[in-house]
Amino acid sequence: MSQIKIFDTTLRDGEQSPGVNLNQLEKMEIAKQLERLGIDRMEAGFPASSKGDFNAVKAIAETIKETSITGLARSVKSEVDISWEALKSSAEPCLHLVLATSPIHMTYKLKKSPDQVIEMAVNSVAYARKKFPQVQWSAEDASRSDLPFLAQIIERVIDAGATVINLPDTVGYTTPIEYGKMFRYIKENVPNIDRVHLSCHCHNDLGMAVANSLAAIENGVTQVEGTINGIGERAGNTALEEVAVALKIRGDYYKHTTGMRLEEIKRTSDLVSKLTGMQIQANKAITGRNAFAHESGIHQDGVLKHAATYEIITPEMVGVNKNTIFLGKHSGRHAFTVRLKELGYELTEEKLQEAFEAFKLLTDRKKEITDDDLFTILMEVQTDTSAINKYELEMFQVQYGTENVPTATVVLNTPENKRVEKACTGQGSVEALYETLDAIIQEELQLVDYQLSSVGRGKDALAESYVQMIVNGEPVNGRGTAQDVIEASANAFLNAVNRYVIQAQSKQNQKTGTTK
């Protein structure tokens, strides 16, 4: 069976999902897990878009060595140069160049003739190959491009040095038959096509991203691009875990495989979900919580007699362990450390001690600590970007009931080391709390989204809150956990504000350092 390469763009296209804003530490955590998952190529970001993205891509390129790291660039020499500086320490530096080829994009966005677009593409690829051993060229909006023109420009960029040709369905417009025909046409009409890998990149606007990707594989594609959980702009991208499992389960039909370690899928999916704040729908294929649940009596009876009657995928195949090992209040540091290593986490001694202390505190309130609980603790520890000056919650109290106006009292320490106390009312307990925090915090705040969920099940489950906010015009996300839903909500609100404060302080420090 031939192997299909997996190109993951969770950290670039996935981060373009509305409301998603990952910091460098969070990107690094996802990158490390993608490496464990066995991704062939990882698009770490768009280095020329911002200093923050440049630093994140550079750090990932310096750290990840088992996966090829790539960055996005337009057909601009300066962006190629910036990308090289970010990616040159990668084990296999790769540049992903993108240029639109559809009539509507060339006319209205690029405002260039087809001949001018060919010249731009050829020049940028030739320039990039002077630096990069691997150059992927993407024909943006390929699925709405004129096929003879597409064949012409592809032949020219291959001659210029492109090593991968990617033909994306940028707006999720095409169908499996149409998309497959496009790749077949290119293979039959580009004489030098055998010198490159063919890649597909599908969006899910019509719900056909995975189907289109599989159709592309049937028609000669050797690389599939997508994201974990299918996140991305608008309706998202191809869900890579779905493609990989489909090829595994239906190997009899597709005759292809991937290098993905399928048993790492669940952990990767959970990590991306938690750090992006994008919850996985219950009935999502492969990773949804109902993927292996059976409600119907007929189904339950069949599964009990023989799992294959209604389960074509075993939970263990994708890392869902039915026999979860529980840790409790009598578990020691050694057992805790061993379990973390089994889960694939490596912490510094300082972070390990911090995680263990959080674990012991939780065992005082919760009888059994599951892997989901440990995962939550680790995310809190790993993503806690400490700063000397930030907002710290000293105390809060919320009074509410059917006969009372919800009122919140908060004592907060500000970045200026001032202790401030205020009380405000609201229509509900969370609104009263957030109104009070807003009244104390100096920054201009706008709450865009608020979510609350439980970690695991049972009345003693941890509460997990997620918020999207605009702080002084900048979009930020915040997460918080606690056994109390109101405390989790407060933690999420302050986490978002402090992320902004830390970013602002970092920018100010860089500016001061540059001035000096």
Q: What is the pLDDT of residue 361?
A: 84
At 416-453, the pLDDT tens digits run: 889 999 999 999 999 999 999 999 999 999 999 999 98
- Interacting residues of 396 by C-beta distance below 8 A, sequence separation 6+: 408, 409, 410, 411, 433, 436, 486, 487, 490
- Whether the per-residue pLDDT at 388 is higher than 80: the answer is no
Exposure b/e, 133-162, CB count within 10 A at least 16 = b: ebbbbbbbbbbbbeeebbbbbbbbbbebbb
At 3-23, the pLDDT tens digits run: 999 999 999 999 998 878 898
- Whether the per-residue pLDDT at 344 is higher than 90: the answer is no
Q: Give the chain's radius of gyration (CA, Å).
A: 25
Tokens of 355: 């995680």
Amino acid identity, position 336: F
Task: Give CA–CA dist 34/503, Å, rounded.
Answer: 25
The overall average pLDDT reported for the chain is 90
Amino acid identity, position 304: L
Q: How deeply is 394 buried, as exposed, middle or buried, from its count of CB atoms within 10 A (0-12, 13-18, 19+)?
A: exposed
Going by pLDDT thresholds of 50, 70 and 90, the confidence category of residue 514 is very low
Q: Which of 133-142, 244-253, 279-288, 387-396 has the lowest mean pLDDT?
A: 387-396
Q: Is residue 316 part of a domain?
A: no
- 125 with 47, same domain: the answer is yes
- Where residue 398 falls (left for φ over 0; alpha for ψ -120 to 50; beta otherwise) is beta
Going by pLDDT thresholds of 50, 70 and 90, the confidence category of residue 326 is low
At 56-107, the pLDDT tens digits run: 999 999 999 999 999 999 999 999 999 999 999 999 999 999 999 999 999 9
- Interacting residues of 510 by C-beta distance below 8 A, sequence separation 6+: 51
Phi, psi of 221 (to 5 degrees): -70, 140
Task: Give CA–CA dist 216/7, Å, rounded.
Answer: 14
356 against 339, higher pLDDT: 356
CATH at 430: 3.30.160.270
Sign of CA dihedral 436, 440, 446, 449: negative
Q: Is residue 289 part of a domain?
A: no
Q: Is residue 209 part of a domain?
A: yes
Going by pLDDT thresholds of 50, 70 and 90, the confidence category of residue 307 is low
The angle formed by the CA atoms of residues 347, 349 and 354, to the nearest 5 degrees, is: 80
For the stretch 176-183, contacts whose Cβ atoms lie closer than 8 Å and that sit 24 or more positions apart, written own/partner, are 176/208, 176/211, 176/212, 176/214, 176/215, 177/215, 178/143, 179/143, 179/212, 179/215, 179/216, 180/215, 180/216, 180/218, 180/219, 181/219, 182/142, 182/143, 182/147, 182/150, 183/216, 183/219, 183/220, 183/221
Neighbours of 393 (CB within 10 A): 15
Task: Give CA–CA dist 450/410, Å, rounded.
Answer: 20
Q: What is the pLDDT of residue 387?
A: 44
CA nearest to 251, candidates 202, 214, 208: 214
Q: What is the pLDDT of residue 341?
A: 80
- 442 with 505, same domain: the answer is yes
Quote the number of domains for the chain. Answer: 3
- 261 with 401, same domain: the answer is no
Distances (CA, A) of 163 to 127, 159, 182: 14, 10, 19
Q: What is the pLDDT of residue 194?
A: 97
- 126 with 59, same domain: the answer is yes
- 81 with 160, same domain: the answer is yes
DSSP symbols for 79-135: HHHHHHHHHTTSSS-EEEEEEE-SHHHIIIII---HHHHHHHHHHHHHHHHTT-SEE
Tokens of 320: 């869902």
Q: Is residue 123 part of a domain?
A: yes
Q: What is the pLDDT of residue 33?
A: 95
Q: Which of 187-196, 365-374, 399-408 has the highest mean pLDDT?
A: 187-196
- 141 with 57, same domain: the answer is yes
Q: What is the pLDDT of residue 461?
A: 82
Last residue of a domain, one of 232, 248, 276: 276
Last residue of a domain, one of 241, 276, 311: 276
- 375 with 409, same domain: the answer is no
- Whether the per-residue pLDDT at 386 is higher than 60: the answer is no
Q: Is residue 307 part of a domain?
A: no
Last residue of a domain, one of 276, 310, 342: 276
- 208 with 271, same domain: the answer is yes
Q: What is the pLDDT of residue 301?
A: 56
Task: Give CA–CA dist 433/424, Å, rounded.
Answer: 7
Q: What is the pLDDT of residue 302?
A: 55
Amino acid identity, position 142: A
Tokens of 269: 């999916």
- 400 with 475, same domain: the answer is yes
Q: What is the pLDDT of residue 297?
A: 52
- 59 with 196, same domain: the answer is yes
User: Strands 41-45 and 2-8: what pairing?
Assistant: parallel
Tokens of 373: 């609980």
pLDDT over 70 for what percent of the chain? Answer: 92
- Whether the per-residue pLDDT at 385 is higher than 60: the answer is no
Sheet holding 392-401, edge to edge: 392-401, 404-413, 419-425
- 36 with 56, same domain: the answer is yes
Task: Give CA–CA dist 207/238, Å, rounded.
Answer: 9
- 371 with 465, same domain: the answer is no
At 141-153, the pLDDT tens digits run: 999 999 999 999 9
Kindly give the residue spans of alpha helices, DSSP state H, lying in 364-417.
Answer: 371-382
Q: Is residue 229 part of a domain?
A: yes
Q: Is residue 125 part of a domain?
A: yes
By residue range, what is the domain housing residue 473?
A: 392-514
Q: Is residue 328 part of a domain?
A: no
